Amino acid sequence: MITNGVGSVLRQIRKGRGESIVEVAKATHTSPASFTKWENDQTIPSERSIRKLAEYYNTDPLELLSVAYPDKYAQKQENEQPVGDGPSIRVEDLLGNNSVLTYNGVPLAAGTKSLVAAFIAGLIIAQPE
């Protein structure tokens, strides 16, 4: 199972809009079976499919692409300045495959880390411009 969290983000957006998998799949010319696999993080949608979904959801495709393909699309913007005096930590690095998240000194299980990643990605994507 793929644990990058893009499926959880897609599910959160879809459910937030009150739509079924069949409705979104039909509107984006995707099979419901493929969409189900994406939402269950069994497969990752192609970049083309993500762009179609972003257009349908009226969101910036780079936001979804950076969750699905962080090595390729998750980049720090040149004009972004760190806030505060502390070190700047990229969310992508924090939730990357090589990082270990802990709570009260205990490492989180991979499934829990995946849920945290999906939740954070959903919060970021859901922010108004």
State pLDDT tens for residues 39-98: 998 999 999 999 999 999 888 888 888 888 888 887 644 445 556 667 777 777 776 667
Q: What is the pLDDT of residue 18?
A: 92
Residues in CB range of 66: below 8 A, 6 or more apart: 73, 74, 75, 92
Cα(118)–Cα(22) distance, rounded to whole angstroms?
22
Q: Report DSSP letters for 15-77, one per residue.
A: HHTT--HHHHHHHTT--HHHHHHHHTTSS---HHHHHHHHHHHTS-HHHHHHHHSHHHH----
pTM: 0.56
Place of tokens 């959880």: 8
What fold is seen in the domain 1-75? Answer: 434 Repressor (Amino-terminal Domain) (1.10.260)
